[in-house]
C-alpha cells in the first residue's frame, strides 16, 4: 500500500478504538451522574448510533476529543480534579472547543467552595482566609492548565505566520504547493490581518475568513435545507432543557451551587426525568446549542451537540 493509504487506514483504526473507549467512558459517566445502569446503557447506545457517528470512524478529531472529554468528566465526578484538568487540557489540544470544558471544573470548584464555607459557618467556625486563598490558587492553576495547550498552539501559529523574516524556504514544498493551490496567505507573503489584533487568535481568523463563521453570518436563504436538517436535534435539545428547568426550578435558580444536603430539600429526583446532578451537563448542552445556532454552521449542531446530548 502507498504511504497515504497506510495513513488513512491507521487514522480510521485509531478513531474507531477511541470511539469504543469513549462509549465505555460515557456509560460509566452515566452510571455515576444518572444513577441508573439502564439509562446509562441507553445513552451509550444512543451515542453509538447517532447520525454524527460517521465522524467517529473517519479521519477526524471527534473520537479523540469525545474520549478525552468524557474521561475528564468521569474523573471530575470521582472527585479527581487534577487528572480531570489534565484530560480537559488534552481535549483542548485535540479541538479548540475543548476550552468549554473549563466550565465543568469552574462549576465544581465553586460548588465545593460554597460547601466548604457553609460547613464552617454551620459549625460556628471562622473561615480561614489562608485556606480560602490556597483553594482559590488551586482552582486558578487547574483552569490555567486547561488553557495551556490552546495557548501554546496559538503561540506556535503566531511565530510562523506573523514572522516578518519568514521565507518560502521555511515551509516544506508540499505545504507551499497546497497553500498556493487553494489561494491561502502563506507566511512569506507578509503578515495576516489577525497578527495585529489585540488578541491574535489564528483560529478565529480562519473561521471568519474561510468558513464564514460569525454572529448570524450563516443565516441565508440558501441555508434553509441545513436549518431543516438541524431542526430535529435543536428541538430535542430545547425540549430536554425546558423539561429540566421546569422540574428543578429552585435548584437551577441556585445555579446548582447548593451543597448536596441542602439540594435534597430544594428539589426531588424523579424517576421520569433527569436528576439534579445533570445540571451542569444540561447547561453545557444549552451553551453549545445557543452558540451553534448563532455563530456556527447550523448543521454542525449534529456533531458538536449530539454526542454531549447522549
| Whether residue 124 sits in one domain with residue 72 | no
Predicted local confidence at residue 265, as pLDDT:
45
Would you say 283 and 134 are in contact if contact means Cβ atoms under 8 Å apart? no
> Is residue 263 in a domain?
yes
End position of a domain, from candidates 195, 226, 252: 195
Which of the pair, 59 or 122, is modelled with greater confidence? 59
* Burial category of 259 from C-beta neighbours within 10 Å (exposed 0-12, middle 13-18, buried 19 and up): middle
Q: Give the 3-state secondary structure of residue 45.
A: helix
Instruction: Give the contacts of 50 (CB within 8 A, at least 6 positions apart).
Output: 306, 307, 310
> Is residue 98 in a domain?
yes
Highest mean pLDDT among 78-82, 194-198, 204-208, 285-289: 78-82
For the chain, what is the radius of gyration of the CA atoms? 22
| Whether residue 72 sits in one domain with residue 91 | no
Per residue in 138-188, pLDDT (tens digit) is 888 988 999 999 899 888 888 888 877 777 677 788 888 888 888 877 777
End position of a domain, from candidates 21, 55, 78: 78
The whole domain housing 122 covers 79-195
End position of a domain, from candidates 160, 195, 230: 195
Grid cell of 297 as nine digits: 454552521
Per residue in 205-257, pLDDT (tens digit) is 887 777 777 787 778 888 888 788 778 888 888 898 999 998 888 888 888 88
Q: How many domains does the chain have?
A: 3
Q: What are the percentages of helix, strand and coil residues in the chain, rounded to 5? A: 75, 0, 25
| Whether residue 14 sits in one domain with residue 42 | yes
Mean pLDDT of 3-10: 88
Band (pLDDT 50/70/90 cuts) for residue 307 is low
| Whether residue 143 sits in one domain with residue 55 | no
Which of the pair, 41 or 250, is modelled with greater confidence? 41
> Is residue 201 in a domain?
no
Amino acid at each position: 500500500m502507498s504511504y497515504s493509504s497506510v495513513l488513512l487506514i491507521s487514522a480510521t483504526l485509531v478513531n474507531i478504538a477511541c470511539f469504543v473507549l469513549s462509549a465505555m467512558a460515557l456509560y460509566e459517566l452515566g452510571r455515576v451522574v444518572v444513577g441508573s445502569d439502564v439509562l446509562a446503557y441507553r445513552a451509550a447506545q444512543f451515542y453509538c448510533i447517532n447520525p454524527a457517528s460517521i465522524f467517529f470512524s473517519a479521519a477526524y478529531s471527534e473520537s479523540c476529543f469525545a474520549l478525552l472529554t468524557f474521561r475528564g468528566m468521569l474523573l471530575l465526578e470521582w472527585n479527581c480534579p487534577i487528572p480531570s484538568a489534565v484530560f480537559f487540557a488534552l481535549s483542548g489540544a485535540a479541538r479548540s472547543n475543548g476550552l468549554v470544558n473549563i466550565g465543568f471544573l469552574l462549576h465544581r470548584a465553586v460548588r465545593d467552595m460554597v460547601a466548604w464555607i457553609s460547613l464552617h459557618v454551620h459549625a460556628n467556625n471562622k473561615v480561614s482566609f489562608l485556606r480560602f486563598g490556597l483553594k482559590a490558587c488551586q482552582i486558578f492553576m487547574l483552569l490555567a492548565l486547561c488553557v495551556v495547550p490552546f495557548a501554546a498552539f496559538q503561540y506556535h501559529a503566531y511565530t510562523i505566520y506573523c514572522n516578518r523574516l519568514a521565507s518560502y524556504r521555511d515551509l516544506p514544498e508540499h505545504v507551499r504547493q497546497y497553500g498556493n493551490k487553494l489561494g491561502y496567505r502563506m507566511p512569506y507573503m507578509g503578515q495576516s490581518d489577525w497578527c495585529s489584533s489585540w488578541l491574535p487568535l489564528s483560529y478565529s481568523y480562519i473561521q471568519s475568513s474561510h468558513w464564514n463563521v460569525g454572529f448570524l453570518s450563516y443565516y441565508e436563504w440558501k441555508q434553509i435545507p441545513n436549518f431543516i436538517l438541524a431542526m430535529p436535534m435543536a428541538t430535542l435539545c430545547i425540549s430536554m432543557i425546558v423539561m429540566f428547568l421546569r422540574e428543578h426550578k429552585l435548584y437551577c435558580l441556585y445555579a446548582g451551587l447548593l451543597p448536596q444536603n441542602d439540594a435534597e430539600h430544594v428539589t426531588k429526583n424523579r424517576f421520569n426525568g433527569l436528576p439534579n446532578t445533570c445540571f451542569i451537563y444540561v447547561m453545557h448542552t444549552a451553551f453549545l446549542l445557543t452558540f451553534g445556532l448563532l455563530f456556527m454552521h447550523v448543521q454542525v449542531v449534529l456533531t458538536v451537540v449530539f454526542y454531549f446530548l447522549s
